[in-house]
Amino acid sequence: KNEVEQSPQNLTAQEGEFITINCSYSVGISALHWLQQHPGGGIVSLFMLSSGKKKHGRLIATINIQEKHSSLHITASHPRDSAVYICAVMNNNAGNMLTFGGGTRLMVKP
Amino acid sequence: EPEVTQTPSHQVTQMGQEVILRCVPISNHLYFYWYRQILGQKVEFLVSFYNNEISEKSEIFDDQFSVERPDGSNFTLKIRSTKLEDSAMYFCASSDTRVQETQYFGPGTRLLVL
């Protein structure tokens, strides 16, 4: 079973700061997802990665397959970025089943 | 932009009652999923569905649970005899292909079992 760990669990930042959220997993994967969960509970998919790096606006996601590690970066953070960020992995031998990390709760203060 | 919808948004039921949670996936998607999140805990995979049959299920998805695509648009999760520990947020998701593809999540149904 894949163990997915995220750090930090909670993060408070000032508006404008550069933010990094980390995700590590224990077993080889076919893909990794970064998700955003809003205070109301809704989940939005941010990125799906199988190698390298992806960028969308102020968000950047990287993955190192050899190290079994991924990072999500937010540049020029804004209070509207406040949410829970969740890493989820798709295991090599488990088809399309996702295993989720516990999430990182981010609060960006103005 | 197309989106996954779920009904109801909230449901309260008595222990032992049957509940059906409904989802309308994105129209051209072929793979459908149910997840649940117990309050304060991680999101957990329940089941995936393709071509009118279950493709994968977790150990949580026992005989109390069933899924169905009764028509061309709806995808349902039935819990036959609810238990207190079934109280959770249930998310439906859909994707276009099986692996290495973004899954689009619905807004969730919050189920409370009393």
Asked if A96 lies within 8 A of B104 by C-beta distance, the reply is no
B35 in contact with chain A, both atoms CB, cutoff 8 A: yes
pLDDT digits (tens, 9 = 90+) for A61-105: 999 999 999 999 999 999 999 999 999 998 776 667 889 999 999
Are residues B102 and A43, on separate chains, in Cβ contact within 8 Å? no
pLDDT at B72: 77
pLDDT at position A93 is 67
Q: Do A95 and B55 touch (CB under 8 A)?
A: yes
Q: Which helix (H) or strand (E) holds A70?
A: strand A69-74
Pairing mode, strands A10-14 and A104-109: parallel
Q: Do B43 and A43 touch (CB under 8 A)?
A: yes
Residue A54 has pLDDT above 70, yes or no: yes
CB-count exposure of residue B20 (10 Å: 0-12, 13-18, 19+): middle
The answer to whether B13 touches B21, Cβ cutoff 8 Å, is no
- CA–CA gap between residue A93 and residue A73 (Å, rounded): 29
Query: DSSP code of A38?
Result: -
User: Is 90 exceeded by the pLDDT of residue A41?
Assistant: no
| Nearest Cα to Cα of residue A46 among A3, A2, A83 | A83
Structure tokens at B87: 């109280």
B70 min Cα distance to partner chain A (Å): 22
Cβ–Cβ < 8 Å for B108, B10: no
Structure tokens at A100: 């989720």
Number of A–B residue contacts, CB under 8 Å: 64
Q: What does each of the 114 residues of chain B score in pLDDT, given as a tens digit?
A: 779 999 999 999 999 999 999 999 998 898 999 999 999 999 999 999 988 899 889 999 999 999 999 887 899 999 999 999 999 999 999 988 765 578 899 999 999 999
HSE-CB for B29 with a 13 A CA cutoff = 29
Residue B112: list chain A partners with CB under 8 A.
Answer: none
More confident residue, B30 or A57: A57
A41 touches chain B (CB under 8 A): yes
Nearest 5°: CA angle at B96, between B27 and B48?
Answer: 95
CA of A102 to nearest chain B CA: how many angstroms apart?
5
Q: CA B59, CA B47: separation in Å to the nearest integer?
A: 9
CB–CB contact B48 A90 (8 Å): no
Minimum-distance CB partner of B43 among A45, A86, A90: A86
Q: Answer whether residue A6 shows pLDDT above 70.
A: yes
The per-residue pLDDT for B41 is 93
Return the DSSP state at B26: -
Taking the CA of residue B67 as centre, how many other CA atoms within 13 Å lie in the half-sphere pointing to its CB?
A: 24
Q: Residue A48 and residue B48: Cβ atoms within 8 Å? A: no
